[in-house]
Amino acid sequence: PPLEQLYVHESVDSVIPKWAFVEAFDGLSIPVELVGDDREYEETDGVVSYVPRPEYLNAGWVHCARAGYDEFDTEAYAAAGVPLTNSSGIHGATVGEVAVGFMLSFARLLHVYRDHQGRREWYTPEYERPFTVEGETLCVVGLGTIGEGIARRADALGMDVVGVRRSDDPVPGVSDLFAPDELHDAIADARFVAIALPHTPVTDGMFAEDEFAAMREDAYLINVARGPIVDESALVSALKSGAVAGAGVDVFETEPLPETSPLWDFEEVIVTPHKGSATNRYHLDIAELVKENVVRYRDGDDLRNRVA
Ligand code: NDP
C-alpha cells in the first residue's frame, strides 16, 4: 500500500531542531506530523527517528536519522519485511572536515596555543614539535562516504593517503588500498590513522593494544565513527605509555564522556562531543534524503540507503 503519512519522532531533536526539520518537508505529497512515544503505526506510515522503537516494526518504512544504525535491530526489520533506511551519504564534508581539523591542530599545535590562551600565555613550543600535515601519511580505515570525505581533503592538503576496506573499489585520493586482514601493515607507517568504519560485530574493539603497538609512536588516532570500535582503556594505556602520540576523538564508549574519563586530561587528546555531523543545515541534508525516499517509495523504486 502507498504511504499516506510521514511521522517524525521527537527523538530527532537530539541532533536537529525538530520543528525546522518538519518544516523542511513543506510541499511533500503526504502530511508530516511530529510524534512522541504514544503512537501505533500501520503499513501506510513512514517514520523518521533517531532512536529505535519496537512499534516501528508495524510501519511501512522506517528511516534512521543517523548514519550509524547499529542500535536498530536489522534482523527484526528483515523478518518483519519493513524496509529500514539510514542517513549515510551526507557526512563526507561535515565529518571529513572535523577529521582534517584534528590533524591540522595536532600538526600546527592550535589546541596547545588555545590551552595557553586561556591563561594569557605567549607560548613557544619545543622546536621539534610542530610539523606540516603535507608530506605525512594518513591511513583511513573504512572508505565509505566519510572515509572518502577525509581522504579527498587530506589528499588536497598534500598528504599521502592509504586506506583499508573490504572491497577493492578504488577511492579518489587514496594511493594504496589494504584488506582488513592487512590492517597492521596499513597503519604501521601512518602518522595519522582515521577510523571511518560502521560499528558492527566485526569492527567492535578493532582498535586495541595490538593495533596501538603496531602504530608509530608519533602517530595520532582519529575516531569519528563509533566509540566501541576503539577499546578506550587500551587507548588510554597507549597514550600513557607513549605507544601513540595523541588522539582526536568525537565518539566514545559511553556518551556523554564521563567526567571521570582520563581522556579529558591529555594535552594531546582533543575531545569533541560527538559533533562530527553538526552543522546549521544538517536538518536539510537529512530531509533531502527522506524526501527522495518518499518519492522512490511512491514510485515502487528501490529505497536509497536501505540497510534492512
Ligand atoms: P558508509 O557505509 O558509507 O561507509 C562505511 C565503509 O566502511 C564502507 O565503505 C565499507 O567499505 C567499510 N567497512 C565496513 N566494514 C568494514 C570492515 N570490517 N573493515 C574495513 N572496512 C569496512 O558509512 P559512512 O561513511 O556514512 O559512516 C561510517 C560510520 O561513521 C557510520 O556507520 C557511523 O557510525 C559513523 N558516523 C559518525 C558521525 C559523527 O558524528 N561522528 C556522523 C555520521 C556517521 P567496504 O564495503 O568496501 O568494506
Determine the pLDDT at residue 157.
98
Cα-to-centroid distance, 108 and ligand 1 (Å): 28
Phi, psi of 277 (to 5 degrees): -100, 0
Cα-to-centroid distance, 294 and ligand 1 (Å): 24
Mean model confidence pLDDT for the chain: 98
Q: Which residues make beta-bridge pairs with 84?
A: 62
129 is catalytic: no
Distances (CA, A) of 18 to 8, 12, 50, 101: 8, 6, 11, 28
For atom 6 of ligand 1, the residue with the nearest CA is: 144
Mean pLDDT, residues 247-272: 98
pLDDT tens figures, 5-24: 999 999 999 999 999 999 99
Determine the pLDDT at residue 213.
98
229 alpha-carbon distance from chain centroid: 11
Task: Locate the DSSP E strands across 143-210.
Answer: 160-164, 176-178, 192-195
Cα 139 to Cα 221: distance, rounded to the nearest angstrom: 10
Mean pLDDT, residues 274-280: 97
Determine the pLDDT at residue 136.
99
Whether the CB-CB separation of 193 and 212 falls below 8 Å is answered with: no
Cα-to-centroid distance, 67 and ligand 1 (Å): 8
Check: complex ipTM more than 0.85: yes
Determine the pLDDT at residue 296.
98
Name the residue of 88, 94, 146, 253 whose CB sits within 8 Å of the most ligand 1 atoms, as the mutation to test its pocket.
Answer: 146
pLDDT-derived band at 109, boundaries 50, 70, 90: very high
Cα-to-centroid distance, 126 and ligand 1 (Å): 37
276 CA: nearest ligand 1 atom: 40
Mean pLDDT, residues 263-272: 98
pLDDT tens figures, 65-85: 999 999 999 999 999 999 999
CA atoms within 13 A on the CB side of 35: 22
Whether the CB-CB separation of 12 and 65 falls below 8 Å is answered with: yes
Mean pLDDT, residues 196-219: 98
For atom 26 of ligand 1, the residue with the nearest CA is: 88
111 is catalytic: no
40 is catalytic: no
Determine the pLDDT at residue 158.
98
